[in-house]
Amino acid sequence: MTHPLLELAERRTVLLDGAMGTMLMARGLAVGMAPEIWNVERPDLVREVHAAYFAAGADVVSTNSFGGTPLKLAAHGLEGRAYELNHAAARLAREAAPPGRFVAGSVGPTGKFLRPHGPCSEQDLEAAFADQVRGLAAGGVDLVLIETQYDLREALAAVRGARSVASLPIFVTMTFNDTPRGFFTLMGDTPARAAGELERAGAAAFGANCTLAADRMAACVRACRGAIGLPLVAQANAGRPVAGEDGRVTYSQTLEDYVRHVPDIVRAGASFVGGCCGTDPSFIRAMAGIVGKEAP
């Protein structure tokens, strides 16, 4: 049986949300603090962000759990609270979701490199991702969104870990650099290779997020479209990050410049579109009208 969200994507373009970290920092999250702790310490503010994205027109919001693996949380001494923080993340998004809307369990990279480049085995990563997804699934997410992956081996480990503990659709987005030779992840994976291997591993949708600004995302989507038959996901950054003296980051692309590229992203083949770093509900609200015009 096809998942309702995938059925929706067959009828029209599905609108995802935008950045979470950008929104939480605007509400006082300190630089260097684990955003996931706010799921239990400031749940009202996390829920508020989800509600703002739904109000802007998002069909799907992602949980505040991007760094929610025990391996990532260990940097903050929170590895023992992974289940609690992910369960709370899912519950908050679920509470904010109106009827007919969806919640994606956000699963970001661990920040660790696999052997021989780093200390971790694939089994280490699988276990860490399984621990995270177990909490997200129990909290009520509709799907797992494995995002901002720069190493195909880690992305595949995340898929295996997720599938070992939950029977949910799994979307995977890699982050690609735009080079004169084409699009590549940090570890040298092309969209074609990543798409093919992740489809065989059981991903329900594939795409790109982060790194690329909106004006280059359409070209990346086209590169993915030529390699895969799965629905495609595209979530571009709002331009280049610019670090301020206080350590906070802003982004170079204006809302108007960002959204004018959205029709091209949809025409390139993206079934799911949303924003990444630097975007907020105003971007999603503007995209909602455009997606409506572009929907078949």
Write the pLDDT tens digit of every residue in 36-61: 999 999 999 999 999 999 999 999 99
DSSP assignment letter at 79: G
10-residue mean pLDDT series, the chain (296 residues)? 90 96 93 96 98 97 98 97 98 97 98 86 96 98 98 97 97 97 95 94 96 95 88 94 73 92 96 96 96 56
Owning domain of residue 111 = 4-294
CATH of the domain at 122: 3.20.20.330
pLDDT at 1: 60
- The CA–CA distances, whole Å, from 123 to 153, 179, 239 equal 11, 32, 35
pLDDT at 294: 46
pLDDT at 293: 46
What is the gyration radius of the CA atoms in the chain, in angstroms?
Answer: 17
Residue 17 is which amino acid? Answer: D
pLDDT at 295: 40
Expressed in angstroms, the distance from the first to the final Cα of the chain is 23
Number of domains in the chain: 1
